[in-house]
């Protein structure tokens, strides 16, 4: 059964071998204060830097999950006001976390399945939260849109949730301030690790809040994460095995090349959207082609949802349920590097014969 | 090489087989919102309940690390004042986290290697932080001492850091309010998971802080963790593999029996302390026998520290360095269920021949 749920998803095909080698080499028992761990940390972060083309004024740190990074972003980067572009359950949760941390967040909200036109962001928004890929609905923000936000709001920090899209998007890191993801989606790894890519403007902001006497958290405050990262360490005993495996899969991705990964992703997305458009009973949920995610593809299946899911499973393909209110009307298909062209083609062939 | 560092430490001997089975069964790709994950969550928490004899008014939730649980404890259980018994680096860090969260913690501090006599805890301390086993120095608080604290301070929540001692200590859960540990020590697992055992008094306190308008965090607030735990779920995508492996090792421990595990731990501790006392060049760091930890045994080796470490490594035994200021004077020996009687006996024999 090939797993097309958008996360946890199909494991990348090399993961199990990397796990075997990790146990053979004693990685799970390594001290996180030793040289061997430091070189794992360095290999993983340098690999990511190279794969995602991250500039040197950024540093890379680890948390337990992307949910934690939502919280740490608000805690470290916002004194009062964040602004959130909300178009689904996950972008909304980022907004709600700001409320739970007693900030005064504001938002621009559009209906599920839609993206944003020109938006007015209130001056004084310290952080602007963009969700590159809304996993609940399959809407992606376009790169020009994301890159325009900071030009128009130079005083704000632009923070991008790329949980279910990286390593696909090619961000211009001079136009954003922080990007984060979790490893169980596009990187095809077991869950339990969030990755936060942050620049010096973010660090300066967190230090400024701290110097004003605000609490920015403790062991996972940005200054603490940063000072440890400079030594290739983490403040706490981290998910050492997770960091090791991420480094190994990033090496595999580098060998394949990010260009090839992106081309394959686009190809697989194209054939699935084409099949959905051609199908008499189902269709893409996102109507505007420019807003359609390449990495989480959502099909509107109406009352045929359960039947299609069963049909695909009989063919060896496990689609993701719709999210929340769409559970009984949508199916979601992850399109990650772990899903090969051949698997995608076979799945699309089966889907096309559904009636 | 057998790893005696106090954590990450030697893996329990069954872990690698459990990992193999996990991959065979697709555990790392499971949805954390599905029935299969819920039954893993239930198996792990019910197993822990049975192994550690945890009463039913407690619930069990997961975090990324014990460091995170330090932070969540302060955030959810303290409006202003916590009180900390500090006798080493880790109990001190719990205190510092309360400071970083802008609370007004107080402490009673004794020298490294010592424990506490009768202490006066200020009235109004909302949380009393006890470190059952100070991993940096090898001092354990006695069970009667721990159990006396709440009788004398009935208005306070008694929170016990048992990071490097569980599953050894047999807590009376009617005398404490929360206990926590991380899996890479006594449970012999890869790092990346903290376990928080909390009672209803803690939940009520966190709800009270929330109703006063205080922030108690977001995705990992106690009410959020609790409401998800009632469904055998977690708020975020957790370390699913870690929760699964913990459940499997807990089953192994249950088959062996907690009585047998405790007896073996006591036996291994006794032979090592005896060897240290009998040795002409080294001695136990903790002088008062009642204060000596059974699970992290610290040897004062003075200028022979490096030589002894090399000698033991040549014999196939990897001791832990001393912590912090004691790095060049101490060696630390973890005594966890992963360290068999035979391994301990061999290590002690080698240590006894050092000169």
pLDDT tens string A169-185: 999 999 999 999 999 99
**Of A158, A173, A186, which is closest to residue A49 (Cα–Cα)?**
A173
Distance from CA of A336 to the nearest CA of B (A): 13
Residues in chain B: 355
- The SS3 call for residue B273 is helix
Residue B280 in contact with partner chain A when CB distance is under 8 A: no
Q: Comparing C-alpha atoms, which of B124, B120, B133 is closest to residue B105?
A: B124
Chain B interface disruption, residue of A2, A8, A221, A322, most B CBs within 10 A: A8
B123-158 tens-digit pLDDT? 999 999 999 999 999 999 999 999 999 999 999 999
Interface test with A, best of B236, B320, B331 (most A CBs within 10 A): B236
User: Which positions 73-102 of A are in contact with B (Cβ < 8 Å)?
Assistant: 96-97, 100-102
With an 8 Å Cβ cutoff, is B71 touching chain A?
A: yes
**A353/B contact by beta carbon, under 8 A:** no
Q: Using a cut of 0.95, tell me whether the model's pTM lies above it.
A: yes
A-chain CB neighbours of B65 within 8 Å are: 64, 236-238
Please tell me the distance from the alpha carbon of residue B105 to that of residue B86, in angstroms, as a whole number. Answer: 12
Contact in structure between B284 and B276 (CB atoms under 8 Å): yes
Say how far apart CA B190 and CA B242 lie, in whole Å. Answer: 8
Average pLDDT over residues B17-35: 95
Contact predicate B244/B40, CB 8 Å: yes
**What DSSP string describes A102-134?**
T---EEEE--TT----S-PPPTT-SEEEEESEE
- Residue B101: pLDDT over 90: yes
Strand partners, A202: none
Confidence band of A309 (pLDDT split at 50, 70, 90): very high
Angle at A284 between CA A278 and CA A288, to 5 degrees: 110
Touching check for B305 and chain A: CB below 8 Å?
A: no
Mean pLDDT rounded to a whole number for chain A: 97
Residue B117 has pLDDT above 90, yes or no: no
Task: Give the dihedral of Cα atoms B321, B326, B331, B334; nearest 10 deg.
Answer: -70
- Looking at residue A233, its pLDDT comes to 98
Q: Looking at the complex, report in whole angstroms how far the Cα of residue B151 sits from the nearest Cα belonging to chain A.
A: 31
Cβ-proximal residues to B241 (8 Å cutoff; 6+ apart), any chain: A190, A191, A192, B19, B22, B27, B28
Question: For residue range B163-184, what is the model confidence (pLDDT) as tens digits?
Answer: 999 999 999 999 999 999 999 9
Distance CA A181, CA A135 (A): 12
A224 has a pLDDT exceeding 90:
yes
* Inter-chain CB proximity A11 and B19 less than 8 Å: no
- The architecture of the domain spanning B15-255 is 3-Layer(aba) Sandwich (3.40)
CB contact residues (below 8 A), chain A span 135-154, against chain B: none
Cα–Cα dist B218/A158, whole Å: 21
**For a pLDDT cut of 90, what percent of chain B falls above it?**
97
For B2-8+258-352, CATH number? 3.90.1150.10
B3 touches A at CB < 8 Å: yes
Q: Tell me how far apart the alpha carbons of residues A235 and A221 are, in angstroms, rounded to a whole number.
A: 10
Residues within 8 A of B (CB atoms), A 190-209 only: 190-193
Q: A290 pLDDT exceeds 90?
A: yes
Given this model, what pLDDT does residue A165 score? 97
Q: Is the CB of A242 less than 8 angstroms away from the CB of B192?
A: yes
pLDDT at residue A250 tops 90:
yes
Residues of B in contact with A30 (CB under 8 A): 8
Q: If phi over 0 gives left and psi between -120 and 50 gives alpha, with beta otherwise, what is residue A217?
A: left
Query: Whole-angstrom Cα distance, residue A122 to residue A133?
Result: 23
| Interface ipTM | 0.96
In angstroms and rounded to an integer, the radius of gyration of the C-alpha atoms of chain A is 20
Asked if pLDDT for residue B234 goes beyond 90, the answer is: yes
Q: Which residue on chain A is closest to B238 by alpha carbon? A: A192
Indicate the domain borders of chain A. 2-8+258-352, 15-255
Domains B2-8+258-352 and B15-255 agree in fold:
no
């Amino acid at each position: 059964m090939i797993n097309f749920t958008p996360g946890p998803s199909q494991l990348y095909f090399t993961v199990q071998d990397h796990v075997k080698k990790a146990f053979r080499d004693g990685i799970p028992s390594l001290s996180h204060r030793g040289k061997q761990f430091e070189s794992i940390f360095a290999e993983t972060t340098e690999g990511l830097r190279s794969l995602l083309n991250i500039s040197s004024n950024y540093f890379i740190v680890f948390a337990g999950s992307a949910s934690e990074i939502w919280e740490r972003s608000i805690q470290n980067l916002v004194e009062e006001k964040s602004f959130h572009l909300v178009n689904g359950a996950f972008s909304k949760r980022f907004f709600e976390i700001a409320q739970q941390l007693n900030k005064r967040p504001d938002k621009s909200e559009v209906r599920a399945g839609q993206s944003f036109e020109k938006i007015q962001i209130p001056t004084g928004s310290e952080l602007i939260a963009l969700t590159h890929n809304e996993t609940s609905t399959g809407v992606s923000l376009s790169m020009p849109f994301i890159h325009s936000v900071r030009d128009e709001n130079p005083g704000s920090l632009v923070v991008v949730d790329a949980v279910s899209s990286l390593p696909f998007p090619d961000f211009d890191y001079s136009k954003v301030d922080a990007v984060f993801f979790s490893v169980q989606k596009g990187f095809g790894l077991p869950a339990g690790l969030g990755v936060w890519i942050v620049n010096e403007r973010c660090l300066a902001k967190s230090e400024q809040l701290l110097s004003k006497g605000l609490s920015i958290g403790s062991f996972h405050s940005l200054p603490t994460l940063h000072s440890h990262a400079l030594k290739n360490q983490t403040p706490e005993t981290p998910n050492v095995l997770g960091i090791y495996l991420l480094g190994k899969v990033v090496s595999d991705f580098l060998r394949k090349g990010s260009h090839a990964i992106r081309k394959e992703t686009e190809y697989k997305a194209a054939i699935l959207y084409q099949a959905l458009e051609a199908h008499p009973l189902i269709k893409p949920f996102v109507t505007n082609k420019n807003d359609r995610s390449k990495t989480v593809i959502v099909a509107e299946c109406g009352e045929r949802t359960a039947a299609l899911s069963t049909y695909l499973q009989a063919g060896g393909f496990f689609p993701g349920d719709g999210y929340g209110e769409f559970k009984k009307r949508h199916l979601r298909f992850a399109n990650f590097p772990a899903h090969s062209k051949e698997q995608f083609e076979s799945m699309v062939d089966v889907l096309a014969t559904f009636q």
